[in-house]
Amino acid sequence: MELTQRLLEQFLVLAEEKHFGRAAERLSMSQPPLSQAMQRLERGLGVTLLDRGPGGVRLTPAGAAFAVEARRLLDARTAAVERVRRVAHGLEGDVRVGYVSILSHRHLPRLLRAAADELPGLRVQLRQDSTAALVEMTGAGTLDLAFLRDPSPIPDDLEAHAFAVERVVAAVPDEHRLAGAESIALVDLRDDDFVLPSATALPGLALQAQRACQEAGFTPRRRADADDLSGLLGYVAAGLCVSLLPEDLRDFPVPGIAFVPLRDSSPYLRTTVAAVHRPDADAAVRRLLELITRHMGPERVV
């Protein structure tokens, strides 16, 4: 015997009304089919659920216990249907989000706060790594979404949505001759040693640094490479060289570093912050992208 939703609903209405006539009326059916349905239910379960009398019916101990379980079954079915619909519409479930470390203090908290307020059914699982690693994991499906600074170039099988543009500034040791300047031209650093972003781990930032310097009329003297922003900061803080970094890094309390604005108007002295995902991203990822557009777009600098 199949315990259909209709059969369970019929039993529960009868258990509440304790009268076949009133129960049948609530169920928009006649009394005989309801009585037959209850008989089939009892035969299928092999127990007596109802004591029938001239004034109506009452539940047996087995009937009272079954009423509790029938309600649980219906509630569980309703909850399952609602959850499936919520997942399908991106309102519930798990989303695996990767990010480069420097985005963790401003953009990422804003996204998490907005998601908690507007999409409380979503559980955001975080993974921090390098740009190259995050792009690879997103393409492989290990991550659903990745937040990167200047993600270009990315593979053709991924999509990128830019939501902020930040200026690039000069990062120099605090004892550098230009550390106290209000602003400088990039060419003022032509005689300095540079720590440059790794072309493998930070391809976008590496390309920007090279082209910005070339546009300013010189090739940067490479002292060292670093595959993440903390490594770039470390070399500068050690007093060994200068670098070109997103101005957002000024919010980090790194002793020994001065950030100096650049007067150059080069397009290479802008860095883009973007969300990267696969074209077949599910509804939950699309919901997060909507949040990014609404809550994080105002960070754009033109």
More confident call, 102 vs 71: 71
Identify the pLDDT of residue 299.
42
More confident call, 245 vs 302: 245
More confident call, 55 vs 21: 21
Whether 60 and 49 have beta carbons less than 8 Å apart is answered as: yes
Identify the pLDDT of residue 226.
92
**Section 170-183 average pLDDT:** 96
The β-bridge relationship of strands 270-277 and 193-197 is unpaired
In 3D space, the residue among 42, 44, 3, 9 whose CA is nearest the CA of residue 23 turns out to be 9
More confident call, 99 vs 218: 218
111: pLDDT strictly greater than 80? yes
Identify the pLDDT of residue 298.
41
Length of the chain: 302
CA–chain centroid gap for 191, Å, is 43
Q: pLDDT, tens digit, for every residue of 206-216?
A: 888 999 999 99
CB atoms within 10 A of CB 175: 9
**DSSP labels, the chain:** ----HHHHHHHHHHHHH-SHHHHHHHTTS-HHHHHHHHHHHHHHHTS--EEEETTEEEE-HHHHHHHHHHHHHHHHHHHHHHHHHHHHTTSSEEEEEEE-GGGGTTHHHHHHHHHHHH-TTEEEEEEE--HHHHHHHHHHTS-SEEEEES--S--TTSEEEEEEEEEEEEEEETTSTTTT-S-B-GGGGTTSEEEEE-TTTSHHHHHHHHHHHHHHT---EEEEEESSHHHHHHHHHTTS-BEEEEGGGGGS--TTEEEE-B----GGGEEEEEEEE-TT--HHHHHHHHHHHHHTGGG---
- What angle do the packed helices 61-88 and 283-295 form, to 10 degrees? 60
Identify the pLDDT of residue 104.
65
Identify the pLDDT of residue 76.
84
d(CA 84, CA 168): 45
Identify the pLDDT of residue 301.
34
Lookup result for tokens 């032509």: 190
Question: Which of the listed ranges 18-22, 73-77, 113-117, 277-281 does the model predict with the highest average pLDDT?
Answer: 18-22
- pTM for the model: 0.64
Q: pLDDT, tens digit, for every residue of 42-84?
A: 999 999 999 998 888 999 999 999 999 999 999 888 877 766 7
Whether 10 and 23 have beta carbons less than 8 Å apart is answered as: yes
Show the tokens assigned to 110. 């804003």
Q: What's the pLDDT band for 294 if we cut at 50, 70, 90?
A: confident
More confident call, 85 vs 213: 213
Identify the pLDDT of residue 296.
67
For the ranges 175-179, 240-244, 262-266, 298-302, the lowest mean pLDDT is seen at 298-302
**Section 259-281 average pLDDT:** 90
Largest Cα–Cα separation, the chain: 105
Identify the pLDDT of residue 151.
61
Identify the pLDDT of residue 90.
76
Whether 283 and 88 have beta carbons less than 8 Å apart is answered as: yes
Tell me the residue type at 140.
Answer: A
126: pLDDT strictly greater than 50? yes
Identify the pLDDT of residue 300.
38
